[in-house]
């Protein structure tokens, strides 16, 4: 092995490297020289693969022989909104098969938007003796039988988190498969499950796990059982209720309130389906300790929300429905000076007329009153350039800004102008902006601003915006740090894409659907760029049954060193670099 | 059997239970509907909804996850008992828009049962039970009375139903339906 003349011994370097936790820093270290590459790869413990098709399991295993923790992401983000047809991909089975053999000491698997089967879960349960963490975020393809295998076999399991996954929920018996000797649970999130788990099994389980910090129950757990559960786990830090309603019984209320107060470390609450407002005061005694509150399923009205948030002086994160209204956001701005993240979801996204008084005023209020606000997701029905400019000026520390004006192409409601200037101000003033989602009426102008100012932008979501290829060209040529770009229903075509082909290799992925990119351009791009997979998704049938100039339905382009993938369904075509397409 | 998306959302007065006749068969995995199917159903039923304030929807817009779309919908789980079955099931009545959908879903859930005999050729006295006569769907309402499923508009049924029982109609014939009525007033 080559060594630099003045280098430290390997062991020392390895020790130094062990303090470098971030994957990006690790990647940079490995590029310094060959010997550092070698040393680093032998002590890389944690691998994050943002696109499971960018690299093959064998490549990962070959380079990093000592991995203990693996994270994989599969489907594109727009899969969350049903834009990616079922069966598209993201199958984790080949990965599990490979790592089961290669990493017997693997401890953690974190998957997002992937398809995982019960067989894979069973293989995980059998293969890794020291398995500790399983996080399945927005995953699908498995049932509670697979969970039973995990529960029964993973003696050292600490974390089981099924957040927002779609589980074939056969029954609640899987939870009873945790043996009586099992005591190591730290985090359990079953909020996505539909059926009832055995409450007595749950009580016994959490009662014997003294290190439990996070417990997120599902809707089916009734309110009147919560007090008993909480009484067994007073060290809890994060708690998610089930359905938050019950016949009004004073003893239920007081027991619940007492149990919540008894959890002195409790900082985060969620759940709150089917809320009966009379039970909300049960949480008042602990409001001042809360740093995170997820009320995004709670159909409670503004007044109740105001009473609640006004007591949460230490709140850092709030997820809530638009029932909070402008008045509630005013109260938030006054009471919650430590707020960092706000997400306001629509209670009735498909209604034509607003059902609540939530406008741009609420967001402006919060931007004024909360100096640490840096992450926003906001659904509303009206916006103005003036408001956006005010928000941007108030909060130059904004890092994530996602605005969804519900009706596509809605102009500034005061001036009827496009919202170019408003979003332009956001990218101009918020110099550390990493994530941006646009909405409303927007011309190519806004993309010029984004290309000019959005130098730190890493992820951009665009819908129903722009006039021409120039818009796309501004983004691709201007945003130096762009990693993920997702576009739908925009008049962007071939020119900008082909002119900026090289840029695509510097990004993780590009999604374009209902745009104007032709099949011919896709073929050309695939031909020119062997290190990109250019995948055409078209449910109308083979693209070559239509003229080459015909726009494709959907396009997903990503950089890869693994070549074209082999698991495509019959509505996906990879543009080969010898310019022939392959039917899978 | 027509798919749920095509069912009109009207008060179910004429019920045809032919489609819901329980038959022998392998226990099917009751498919609870993929993300895509759910939202497709939701969007289809929304466009046929009576309210003009709902508009035709663009796929995937606004960008709200399927689990959030149903936030306004309440959840109403009721127990379902089938005579002779070893265990009960629970269904969320809010998941359905009509009696047909509910009953066909129940059929799927209970197809593994093999308890039916062929004694029952009698029709229910109300004339609504037109199937082979194997079962009569009944429910307990808020007053504690046992009622025939299908008499009242669907929404009213959802509101008042506390539990469902699929009765063996031979039992119904011998005990008399009247004897089932609760006496609590």
pLDDT, tens digit (0-9, with 9 covering 90-100), for A318-360: 999 999 999 999 999 999 999 999 999 999 888 878 889 999 9
Nearest CA in chain B to A273: B71
Q: Among residues 112-151 of chain B, which lie with CB inside 8 Å of chain A? A: none
Report yes or no: A375 and A399 within 8 Å, Cβ to Cβ. yes
Interface test with B, best of A75, A78, A81, A273 (most B CBs within 10 A): A81
Report yes or no: A441 and A476 within 8 Å, Cβ to Cβ. no
Gap from B148 CA to chain A (nearest CA, Å): 27
Report yes or no: A199 and B37 within 8 Å, Cβ to Cβ. no
Question: Between B36, B62, B77, which is nearest A346 by CB?
Answer: B62
Report yes or no: A143 and A116 within 8 Å, Cβ to Cβ. no
| DSSP type of residue B27 | P
Question: Between B46, B59, B90, which is nearest A350 by CB?
Answer: B46
Q: Do B35 and A351 touch (CB under 8 A)?
A: no
User: Whole-angstrom Cα distance, residue A274 to residue B71?
Assistant: 9
pLDDT in tens, chain A (584 residues): 555 545 678 889 989 998 998 888 999 999 999 999 999 999 999 999 999 999 999 999 999 999 999 999 999 999 999 999 999 999 999 999 999 999 999 999 999 999 999 999 999 999 999 999 999 999 999 999 999 999 999 999 999 999 999 999 888 899 999 999 999 999 999 999 988 889 999 999 999 999 999 999 999 999 999 999 999 999 999 999 999 987 778 899 999 999 999 999 999 999 999 888 889 999 999 999 999 999 999 999 999 999 999 999 999 999 999 999 999 999 999 999 999 999 999 998 888 788 899 999 999 999 999 999 999 999 999 999 999 999 999 999 999 999 999 999 999 999 999 999 999 999 999 999 999 999 999 999 999 999 999 999 999 999 999 999 999 999 999 999 999 999 999 999 999 999 999 999 999 999 999 999 999 999 999 999 999 999 999 999 999 999 999 999 999 999 999 999 999 999 999 998 764 444 44
Question: Collapsing DSSP states into helix, strand and coil, what is residue B164?
Answer: strand
Phi, psi of A574 (to 5 degrees): -95, 130
Q: Do A81 and B64 touch (CB under 8 A)?
A: yes
Question: Collapsing DSSP states into helix, strand and coil, what is residue A152?
Answer: helix
Gap from B68 CA to chain A (nearest CA, Å): 7
Residue A182 CB partners (closer than 8 Å, separation 6+): A151, A155, A157, A205, A208, A209
The three-state (H, E, C) secondary structure of A337-374, written as one string: CCCCEEEEECCCCCECCCCCCCCHHHHHHHHHHCCCCC
A80 touches chain B (CB under 8 A): yes
β-strands B163-168, B146-148: how paired? Answer: unpaired
Q: Among residues 500-539 of chain A, which lie with CB inside 8 Å of chain B? A: none
Q: Do A166 and B34 touch (CB under 8 A)?
A: yes
User: Whole-angstrom Cα distance, residue B128 to residue B131?
Assistant: 9
B47 touches chain A (CB under 8 A): no
CA–CA–CA angle A514, A517, A523 (5° rounding): 130
Q: At what angle do helices A93-102 and A118-127 cross, to 10 degrees?
A: 10
Q: Do A169 and B61 touch (CB under 8 A)?
A: no
User: Whole-angstrom Cα distance, residue B177 to residue B125?
Assistant: 9
Nearest CA in chain B to A350: B54
From chain B, the residues in CB contact with A488 under 8 A are 60
Interface test with A, best of B41, B69, B71, B105 (most A CBs within 10 A): B71
B87 touches chain A (CB under 8 A): no
Mark the ranges of chain B whose per-residue pLDDT is less than 50: 1-53, 114-133, 172, 174, 176-185
Determine if the pTM surpasses 0.95: no
From chain B, the residues in CB contact with A489 under 8 A are 58
pLDDT at B170: 63
Q: Do B63 and A297 touch (CB under 8 A)?
A: no
A296 touches chain B (CB under 8 A): yes
User: Whole-angstrom Cα distance, residue B92 to residue A386?
Assistant: 46
From chain A, the residues in CB contact with B34 under 8 A are 86, 140, 166
B26 touches chain A (CB under 8 A): no
Report yes or no: A562 and A534 within 8 Å, Cβ to Cβ. no
B50 touches chain A (CB under 8 A): no
B78 touches chain A (CB under 8 A): no
User: Whole-angstrom Cα distance, residue A524 to residue A534?
Assistant: 10
DSSP A392-453: HHH-TT--EEEEEESSTT---TTT---SHHHHHHHHHH-TT--EEE--SS--HHHHHHHHHH
Q: Do A345 and B68 touch (CB under 8 A)?
A: yes
Residue A555's DSSP bridge partners are: A512, A536
A112 touches chain B (CB under 8 A): no
User: Whole-angstrom Cα distance, residue A440 to residue A444?
Assistant: 13
């Amino acid at each position: 092995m080559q060594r630099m003349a003045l280098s430290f011994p390997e062991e020392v370097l390895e020790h130094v490297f062990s303090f470098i936790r971030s994957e990006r820093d690790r990647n940079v270290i490995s590029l310094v020289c060959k010997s550092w590459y070698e040393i680093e790869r032998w002590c890389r413990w944690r691998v994050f693969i943002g696109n499971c098709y960018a690299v093959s399991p064998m490549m990962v295993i070959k380079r990093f022989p000592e991995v203990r923790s693996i994270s994989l992401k599969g489907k594109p983000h727009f899969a969350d909104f049903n834009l990616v047809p079922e069966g598209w991909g993201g199958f984790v089975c080949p990965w599990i098969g490979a790592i089961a053999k290669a990493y017997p000491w693997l401890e953690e698997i974190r998957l997002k938007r992937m398809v995982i089967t019960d067989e894979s879960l069973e293989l995980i349960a059998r293969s890794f003796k020291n398995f500790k963490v399983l996080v399945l975020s927005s995953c699908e393809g498995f049932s509670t039988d697979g969970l039973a295998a995990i529960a029964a076999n993973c003696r050292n399991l600490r974390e089981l988190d099924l957040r927002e996954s779609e589980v074939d929920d056969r029954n609640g018996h899987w939870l009873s498969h945790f043996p009586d000797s099992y005591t190591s649970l730290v985090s359990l999130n079953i909020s996505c499950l539909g059926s009832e788990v055995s409450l007595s099994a749950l009580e016994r389980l959490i009662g014997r796990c003294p290190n439990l910090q996070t417990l997120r129950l599902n809707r089916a757990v009734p309110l009147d059982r919560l007090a008993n559960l909480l009484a067994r786990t007073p060290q809890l830090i994060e708690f998610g209720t089930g359905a938050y309603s019950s016949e009004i019984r004073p003893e239920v209320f007081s027991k619940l309130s007492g149990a919540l107060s008894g959890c002195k470390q409790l900082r985060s609450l969620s759940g709150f389906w089917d809320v009966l407002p009379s039970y909300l005061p049960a949480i008042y005694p602990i409001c001042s300790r809360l740093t995170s509150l997820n009320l995004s399923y709670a159909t409670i009205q503004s007044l109740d929300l105001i009473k609640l948030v006004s007591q949460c002086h230490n709140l850092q994160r709030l997820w809530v429905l638009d029932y909070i209204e402008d008045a509630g956001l005013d109260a938030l701005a006054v009471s919650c000076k430590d707020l960092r993240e706000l997400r306001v979801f629509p209670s009735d996204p498909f209604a034509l007329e607003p059902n609540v008084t939530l406008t741009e005023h609420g967001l402006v209020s919060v931007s004024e009153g909360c100096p640490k606000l840096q992450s926003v997701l906001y659904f509303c029905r009206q916006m103005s350039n003036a408001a956006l400019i005010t928000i941007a000026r108030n909060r130059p520390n904004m890092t994530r800004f996602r605005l969804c004006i519900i009706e596509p192409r809605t102009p500034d409601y005061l001036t009827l102008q496009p919202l170019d200037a408003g979003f332009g101000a956001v990218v101009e003033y918020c110099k550390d902006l990493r994530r941006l989602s646009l909405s409303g009426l927007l011309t190519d102008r806004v993309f010029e601003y984004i290309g000019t100012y959005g130098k730190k932008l890493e992820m951009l979501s665009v819908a129903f915006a722009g006039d021409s290829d120039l818009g796309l060209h501004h983004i691709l040529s201007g945003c130096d740090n762009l990693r993920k770009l997702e576009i739908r229903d925009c008049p962007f075509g071939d020119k900008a894409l082909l002119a900026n082909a090289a840029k695509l290799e510097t990004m993780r992925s590009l999604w374009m659907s209902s745009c104007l990119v032709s099949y011919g351009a896709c073929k050309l791009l695939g031909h020119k760029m062997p290190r990109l997979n250019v995948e055409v998704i078209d449910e109308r049938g083979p693209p070559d049954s239509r003229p080459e100039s015909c726009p494709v339905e959907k396009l997903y382009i990503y950089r890869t060193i693994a070549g074209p993938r082999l698991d495509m369904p019959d509505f996906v075509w990879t543009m080969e670099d010898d310019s022939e397409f392959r039917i899978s | 059997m027509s798919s749920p998306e095509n069912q009109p959302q009207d008060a179910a007065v004429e019920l045809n239970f032919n489609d819901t006749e329980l038959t022998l068969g392998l226990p099917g995995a009751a498919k609870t509907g993929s993300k895509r199917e759910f939202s497709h159903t939701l969007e289809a039923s929304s466009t046929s909804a009576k309210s003009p304030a709902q508009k035709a929807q663009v796929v995937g817009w606004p960008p709200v996850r399927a689990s959030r779309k149903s936030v306004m919908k309440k959840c109403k789980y009721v127990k379902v008992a089938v005579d002779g079955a070893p265990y009960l099931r629970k269904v969320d009545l809010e998941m359905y828009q009509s009696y047909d959908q509910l009953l066909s879903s129940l059929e799927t859930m209970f197809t593994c049962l093999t308890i039916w005999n062929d004694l029952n050729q009698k029709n229910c006295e109300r004339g609504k039970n037109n199937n082979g006569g194997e079962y009569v769907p009944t429910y307990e309402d808020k007053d504690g009375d046992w009622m025939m499923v299908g008499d009242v508009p669907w929404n009213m049924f959802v509101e008042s139903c506390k539990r469902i029982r699929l009765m063996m109609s031979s039992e119904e014939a011998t005990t008399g339906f009247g004897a089932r009525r609760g006496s609590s007033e």
